[in-house]
Structure 1
Amino acid sequence: MLKEYTLAREEGFCHDYLHGEPQAVKFLAGHFREEGVFAAKSEAVTAAYGRDRTKLAELLLAYNRAAGCTEETEKQIKKLLDPRAVAVLCGQQAGLLTGPLYTVYKALAAVKLAAKLEKELERPVVPVFWVASEDHDFSEANHCYVLGRDKRPQKVELPLVHKGEPVGRLKLTAEAGRAVLERLREVLPQTEFVPGLLAWLEESLHPSATPADWFARLLLKLAGPKGLVLFDPLLEAGRHLAAPLLAEAVRKRAALEEALLRREAELKACGY
């Protein structure tokens, strides 16, 4: 069951869209509460996607298996071979220990929504999480906060030297990983659950080559049993599949820039 929560802020684009204000909804492909909006979108997506799905499924299987996925994730990936299949896509930067809690909320919401839509639309719907491994802002992704023994937020940081490379290209050293685990031992409340938690984190740390790898392994441990599928944009096979689209974007860069500037002006005119 999907639960709804009210945002404290009562202004801005996000607020207006959530409440179905026409001036906000017109900028997106309909409102998620509109009758038939998901059915119409799924039909449009499958009609526009004429490429072979085999290579996509193969690269997703290889990547998710390497990250320790469960049989449920493999089943979801194989659904994508069906030409009627669509996906519920979400994503987030590869934060330390999955980063902010809303990262996990996104993943679980995608799983729940995909299951709901699969029943309603009577077609395969796959939950996919985009691991934003291309993100260069390591100062955002290199730390998280946990509730400490003093019942106050305590910062936990991954001590790696960052020289501007994407998080998915940054080498995760054993020393840096152990420093994170030691910091957790230092600040977490002394309960019977902590040893198991630390062992769980360490188990995912050892085979991880980058912070993005560690993130992916942890997220799959949490949501993989529910069928979540991960995608990493730094995958070479994925870049090859996306090459025609990227080449077209380069050819149409002037038109795309003009469209973006026009949309920016329209948003500002609506007060956003």
Structure 2
Amino acid sequence: MRIMRLGEPGQEQPAVMLAAADGSRQYFSLLPLTGDVDGAFLASGGLDKVRDALAAGTLPVLDSAESVRVGAPVARPGTVVGIGMNYAAHAAESGAAPPEIPVVFLKPSNTVAGPYDPAAVPPRSNKYDWEVELGIVIGREASYLGGKEEAAACIAGYVTANDLSEREYQLPGAAGQWTKGKTLPGSTPLGPWLVPAADINGGNLQLRSWVNGEPRQDSTTSQLIFDAPTLVHHCSQYMRLEPGDVILTGTPEGVALSGRFPYLQPGDVVEVEVEGLGRQRQELFRAN
């Protein structure tokens, strides 16, 4: 069961996709259940309602779904939380020691984009970078949670994410700050779909990325320093996570910051994939 939002920006409609063993796909509208895939839908047990409706055969078929733009699978989150240096090898290639507690930063909700939308390189950017990440979608309010078990119960599901980052804006230098490098419009493509936590093991998924077809990153979420429930619990001690919020769990080694690869340029194509959560593709262009 893969939850999607289909349509032009601002006009997306909720859908669910079922994939058969032979690779064929069926799409169904979720409009009989909800107007959108948002916090209210998730908090009200929406994913279970979808499962029940599929079993009952009450959802309308979408015959032309594959010709429609795919939006982010969650309507504009209230909060997007980023986690830095959550893979030891990435911390090393960044010139840092692995953190002893999670490194947390925030991204505006207007950074969220669809998984295949063109991605803008900022006008003065010289060090635009890619980061494939596992994204956590929150399904119920999380505040001052008591432990990892409570935290795991707050995870609605998982998504593929790309945390596009401008390193010259982010890191020390000319007033470099993480906020400046991580909050550029459209810099958080999500999707193509949301997979419920009950349907996938978020703790052991392969993550990969490519630039112009050449491999860049190849790791697994089993290498996370802080796993998904740990991150939800930790963040809940400092902020109130609400249904529909998204936590980006960090990226593995293999980014341009390592010095092994060139930074992104207009015309480049970035692809990122998390096993079972789908593959994204962004073509880069220079913003005016």
Fold equivalence (TM over 0.5): no
Q: Higher helix proportion, which one? A: 1
**Higher-strand-fraction structure:** 2
What TM-score results when the alignment is normalised by the length of structure 2? 0.23
